[in-house]
């Protein structure tokens, strides 16, 4: 389960059901995450063009998702990030279930909900999404 900024619980499987998804875990205190986040946000249209859903899950700890969201909102202002749609897991249970013990980490999940690849550490996201984009769509 993940939560949105208003503490509404969402089932991760339901959010990505039937979709090819990249689920990327990040935190405001993680320097590689901070470097990657603006690029991931910039590449969101290319992810969509490649038929991928980008789902960001925050790793910052807190008592509630709304409390973490408030912290992140202040951090976003410092980073000059205007819009960031992310989910939260303040209890850290999802990270335990997926055996996530360091970040950044991302899971490439196919339409059937099967993890096809686990991407550890910083990535060249431009090259990665280009490989996922069908050749017929690359020049458009």
Q: Could you read off the pLDDT of 114-138 as tens digits, one per residue? A: 999 999 999 999 999 888 876 544 4
Half-sphere exposure of 48 (CA within 13 A, CB side): 5
User: Cα torsion for 100, 103, 106, 107, to the nearest 10°?
Assistant: -10
Q: How many domains does the chain have?
A: 1
Residue 78 covered by a domain = yes
Residue 86 covered by a domain = yes
- With a cut of 50, say whether residue 29 has pLDDT above it: yes
- With a cut of 50, say whether residue 65 has pLDDT above it: yes
Q: Taking Cα atoms as reference points, which of 1, 34, 44, 16 lies closest to residue 115? A: 16
CATH number (domain holding residue 108): 3.40.30.10
Residue 120 covered by a domain = yes
101 pLDDT tier (thresholds 50, 70, 90) = confident
- Residue 45 structural domain: 2-133
96 pLDDT tier (thresholds 50, 70, 90) = confident
Residue 138 covered by a domain = no
């Amino acid at each position: 389960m993940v939560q949105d900024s208003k503490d509404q619980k969402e089932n991760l499987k339901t959010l990505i059901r039937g979709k090819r998804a990249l689920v990327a875990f990040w935190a405001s205190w993680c320097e590689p995450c901070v470097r990657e986040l603006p690029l991931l946000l910039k590449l969101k249209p290319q992810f969509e063009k490649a038929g991928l859903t980008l789902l960001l899950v925050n790793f910052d700890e807190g008592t509630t998702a709304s409390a973490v969201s408030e912290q992140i909102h202040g951090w976003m202002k410092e980073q000059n990030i205007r819009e960031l749609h992310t989910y939260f897991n303040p209890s850290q249970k999802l990270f335990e279930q997926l055996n996530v013990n360091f970040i950044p980490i991302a899971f490439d999940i196919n339409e059937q909900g099967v993890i096809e690849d686990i991407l550890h550490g910083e990535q060249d996201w431009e090259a990665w999404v280009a490989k996922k984009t069908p050749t017929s769509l690359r020049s458009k």
